Amino acid sequence: MAQPNPRCNTCRVRNCSVLSNCSNNILEALSDNKEYLHFQRRERLLIEGQHGGGIYFIRSGIAKIEVNGKSGRPLILRLAGAGSVFGHRIRGSNNEQPLSVEAVEDLYVCHISLAYYDQLVEKSPALHSGMMQSLLNEIRQVELHAVRLTHLSVKERVAGTLLHIAALYQYQPGSNGIRVHLERQDLADLSGTTREQVSRMLSGLQQGGYIKYRGKHFKFFNLPGLQQIAALY
């Protein structure tokens, strides 16, 4: 659903996105040629295997990035929040989306077409550099995730996933906590384990005073304690 279009040069997440070093002229041009869209929870922005789709910049909300597994069930690779960009990896020879992106909660994004993105990149080395850095960061995340799956215990991986979620949802110690619209299977995918093991680990971490939760409402995170468990995070 289209929304009133915010300007890129005054966007509150500009400095944490690929647009951080772009000139005002590029930001003005982008503002004049983009859509500001709202996706409700469980709506998909991109679908694996589809052609086209454009470039999306997250202004607020959380999305999950998925690939189809052998069983046909989507597997979550990671979560992403404000400042993240999607759609730029379509530039392969088959011109298909390699990933699916779904809104975990209400998601507000800015969207431009692939054709207009190509025009902007030709005019802006800073945008091109930002996109390349984004791709390098994604590769680094994949490398670190592989290391964690190989070398860390289930408890360490679940603790790391909880830290990742607390950071994305901007959990503040002393607050009323955060409500996370993720299923136990989602947490299992992110942690590289099973839903049953995630449930056991969450119970154990709560008994140990590392978290307090009921259902999807995480009332408390002992951030130093979780960081000590998840040594590599």
| Residues 113, 198 within the same domain | no
Q: Are residues 114 and 172 in the same domain?
A: no
Q: Are 105 and 175 within one domain?
A: no
Looking at the structure, tell me whether residues 40 and 135 fall in a common domain: yes
How much is the average pLDDT of 145-169?
90
Q: At what angle do helices 195-207 and 184-191 cross, to 10 degrees?
A: 90
Q: Has residue 201 been placed in a domain?
A: yes
Mean pLDDT of 152-156: 92
As a whole number, mean pLDDT of residues 169-187 equals: 92
Pick the more confident residue, 120 or 145: 120
pLDDT digits (tens, 9 = 90+) for 36-86: 999 999 999 999 888 878 899 999 999 999 988 766 677 888 899 999 998
Instruction: Tell me how many degrees the CA angle 221-166-163 measures, rounded to the nearest 5.
Output: 80
> Could you write out the DSSP letters of every residue in 115-147?
HHHHHHHHH-HHHHHHHHHHHHHHHHHHHHHHH
Q: Which domain, by its residues, includes 97?
A: 8-148
For residue 3, name the pLDDT band (cuts at 50, 70, 90).
low
- Does 45 share its domain with 117? yes
* pTM of the predicted model as reported, rounded to 2 decimal places: 0.85
Written as six digits, the tokens of 185 are 């299977």
